[in-house]
Amino acid sequence: MADAEFGKADRSQYPHRRPDGSLDIDLTSGKYLKLWQGPNHPGITGNMSVELTVCGDEVVEGKTHVGYLHRGFEKLMERRTFIQCFPIVCRICVPEPDFNEYCYAAAVEELAGLEIPEKAKWIRALILEMGRINSYLMYLGGQAGAFGQGVIGQWTTYARDLMLDRFEELTGARIYHMFILPGGVRDDLPEGFDERMEQTLQEVERTLDDVYDTMFRNAVFKKRAVGLGYVDPALVDEYGITGPVARGAGVARDVRKDQPYLVYDQLDFEPVTGRESDVYARADVRRRDLLMSVDLIRQILSKMPHKGEVMATLPNVLHWKIPRGETYIRGECSRGEYGYYLVTDGSGYPRRVNVRGPSYTHAMALLEKLIVNVNISDVAGLMVSLHTYPPEIER
Amino acid sequence: MQTLISQLQTRFQLSEFILQRDNLAFVTVTREQLRPLLLHLRDKEGFTHLVLLTAVDWIEDNIFQLTYLLGDRTAGCDIGVRLMLPRDVASMDSIHDLWPTAATYQRELREMFGIDFPESPRVDEDFILEGWTDLPPYRRDFDTLKYSQESYVDRLGRETKDPAAYMKLKLYPDEDNDG
């Protein structure tokens, strides 16, 4: 193809496909180059890599590789009592571990027929929203960083650190909390928590104002993010897309609203949606969703009962046998639908635990589809916009 | 959900039905009925979302249970379609043409449980484990502790405690901890 034609051609038709649907890429032709992005690369989302086939500076094929972080969590849990699984489940997702605790605890409670106190539900919702804010703050830093704006990550890390302080005073830990257990939560809110949380929320809002001015109104960020990584709304069901990636495409799916859990049916909110379905739209959905979480935390703290138990009476957890059964519990984490499929066999150990993280579909099938015809320099920005965490894939 | 299951029972041979919650049910089907049932649920009943596809190893019964969990995001309900496969002939038809993302699940099941899905894209490519030659590790007869002891050396100076015994001692110090 002549150079002039090359630039004008419909790039989505390139490379050509063979009759069996595979891409017509002849690596011996000298036109293509294999390039690995990751596993050690500043533009990769965690411990994974993408095997790129490039033609010039255009990606013509991308294959996701995972396995650098596999610790066999699901298998390990089969050898542990139900309560012993808690130090494991939270480690499946570092930036937002609490969803693992909640989903697993709720699944155990359902199969064991355990009711939790009302106040515990409010505290669980509070923790999940705090975790969502932390996760979004990390994301914003990563998304801006992928396009060369390092300062945003410094600002959002500062705000996240303040929220980690709140986690620390509430749970005793900053990253892995192990605060949500079957039966409720480990403790009530400490004295004066509401006031300190309000100060933190105000600081988060101030930081987000700066982020909006510096990142979202920045010409370079717009130039690179607008139009990149378009997700057709028709793909949402086909590819199992959930969370901000779906909502950025205008599909108003939010488990908190669609299948309310904990106390979300008592809170006033609407799913945040976008329209353009590109990297910019997804970033903006997350920014606005973060602000909604700030509002939800204020609602939770004002509506939460002041008195009451936070933990139900549990049987002796070392001899706790749960009747045979199976269930699936889901929640809306910052990246989409997070769920636990738990199977019990009447013994004191889980028969099978399967974790459904949104990254499983977003970082594999969807990324491999979206990455074709993207410029090499935009791969990092595209990946981050799907907000993927590899440990969810290799549980 | 009860109404839907009743309707399905008239059209398909469902051998087992469990209503777990108002919005979650599990049904068991035969191999031949799986694909027609999934298509019916997807195209006629609104279960357009493949939530997950996974397996459970019931080694004592010599079967693998495949669970196809489908979600209707508009109605807010889920149905788990279960299929029992003989463990020694662990092979199932692929559904990647119904949901492209199923190919990833099937690739993982091939690697972790040794359940084959012929025709599924890249199903034979390494997914998480590279160069694995042992039993598929998520099968119940794969012993993680034995594998670990045979493959790795304990860190010098590291003391380990039996987790169950240690926890019992910490949680219930007054109990008789000998037994």
Identify whether A152 is part of a domain.
yes
The residue that leads in pLDDT, B175 or A58, is A58
- Per residue in B83-108, pLDDT tens? 999 999 899 999 999 999 899 999 99
As a whole number, mean pLDDT of residues A8-17 equals 72
Portion 242-271 of A in contact with B at CB < 8 A: 253, 258-259
pLDDT category at A324 given cuts 50, 70, 90 is: very high
Could you tell me what percent of chain A has a pLDDT over 90? 74
* pLDDT score for A391: 81
Residues in contact with A217: Cβ distance below 8 Å, sequence separation at least 6, in sequence order: none
Q: Among A12-26, A190-204, B160-174, where is mean pLDDT lowest?
A: A12-26
Architecture of domain B2-127: 2-Layer Sandwich (3.30)
Cβ of A253 within 8 Å of Cβ of B73? The answer is yes
Q: What is the 8-class DSSP label of residue B154?
A: P
Checking if the pLDDT of A309 tops 90, the result is yes
Task: Please report the pLDDT score of residue B33 as a whole number.
Answer: 93
pLDDT of residue B168: 84
Q: Is residue A319 part of a domain?
A: yes
Task: List, in sequence order, the alpha helices (H) in chain A.
Answer: 3-8, 73-77, 86-89, 98-112, 118-146, 150-171, 193-211, 219-225, 235-238, 243-247, 255-258, 279-303, 359-361, 367-370, 379-385
Cβ-proximal residues to A27 (8 Å cutoff; 6+ apart), any chain: A34, A53
Chain A closest-CA separation from residue B151 CA (Å)? 15
Closest Cβ–Cβ partner in A354, A364, A365 for B52 = A354
In this prediction, residue B179 has a pLDDT band, given cuts at 50, 70 and 90, of: very low
Backbone angles phi, psi at A375, to 5 degrees: -70, 145
Domain holding A260, by residue range, is 96-355
**DSSP codes of every residue in A302-314:** HHS-SSS-SBPPP
Strand partners, B72: B77
Report the domain count for chain A: 1
**pLDDT at residue A6, as a whole number:** 52
Residue whose structure tokens are 């976008």: A274
Largest Cα–Cα distance in chain A?
75
On chain A, the residues whose CB falls within 8 A of the CB of B48 are: 237
Q: Is the pLDDT of residue A10 over 80?
A: no
Q: Does A109 touch chain B (CB under 8 A)?
A: no
Q: How far is CA A329 from the centre of its chain?
A: 16
> Given an 8 Å threshold on Cβ–Cβ distance, is B101 in contact with A240?
yes
List the single best residue of A63, A75, A255, A332 to mutate versus B (max B Cβ within 10 A): A75
Residue A290 Cα, gap to closest chain B Cα (Å): 23
How does residue A276 score in pLDDT terms, banded at 50, 70 and 90?
Answer: very high
Checking if the pLDDT of B59 tops 70, the result is: yes
Give per-residue pLDDT as tens, A189-210. 999 999 999 999 999 999 999 9
CA terminus-to-terminus distance, chain B? 47
What ipTM is given for this predicted complex?
0.90
- Interface probe with B: pick from A82, A326, A359, A367, most Cβ of B within 10 Å: A326
Q: What percent of chain B has pLDDT over 90?
A: 59
pLDDT of residue B139 exceeding 90, the answer is yes
Instruction: Assign A22 a pLDDT band (cuts: 50, 70, 90).
Output: confident
Kindly report the nearest CA distance between residue A295 and chain B, in angstroms: 25
- The answer to whether A356 faces chain B, any CB pair under 8 Å, is yes
- The most distant pair of C-alpha atoms in chain B lies apart, rounded to whole Å, by 65
Mean pLDDT of chain A: 91
How far is B93 from chain A, CA to nearest CA, in Å? 19
* For residue B163, pLDDT beyond 80: no
Bridge partners of A75, per DSSP, are: none
Residue A275 maps to a domain:
yes
Greatest mean pLDDT among A13-27, A38-52, A346-360 lies in A346-360
Is a pLDDT exceeding 80 seen at residue A7? no
A151 domain residue, yes or no: yes
pLDDT surpasses 50 at A1: no
Q: CB under 8 Å to A10, separation ≥6 — which residues?
A: none
Q: Counting beta carbons within 10 angstroms of the beta carbon of residue A294, is it exposed (0 to 12), middle (13 to 18) or buried (19 or more)?
A: middle
Residue A82 belongs to some domain of the structure: no
Q: Identify the weakest region by mean pLDDT among A63-67, A105-109, A117-121, A138-142.
A: A63-67
Task: Provide mean pLDDT across the span A357-377.
Answer: 89
More confident residue, B124 or B175: B124
Q: Which helix (H) or strand (E) holds B46?
A: none
Alpha helix ranges (H) inside A304-378? 359-361, 367-370
pLDDT grade for A35, boundaries at 50, 70 and 90: very high
Closest CA to B27 of B2, B62, B63: B2
Q: Check CB contact under 8 Å for B101 and A239.
A: yes
As a whole number of Å, the CA-based R_g of chain B is: 21
CB-based contact (8 Å) between B104 and chain A?
yes
Q: Which residues of A touch B130 (CB under 8 A)?
A: 67
For residue A157, name the pLDDT band (cuts at 50, 70, 90). Answer: very high
Q: Structural domain boundaries of chain B? A: 2-127
Distance (Å, whole) CA A387 – CA A242: 11
So what's the pLDDT on residue B177?
55
Inside any domain, residue A84 = no
Contacts of B145 in chain A (CB under 8 A): 79
Residue A61 lies in a domain: no
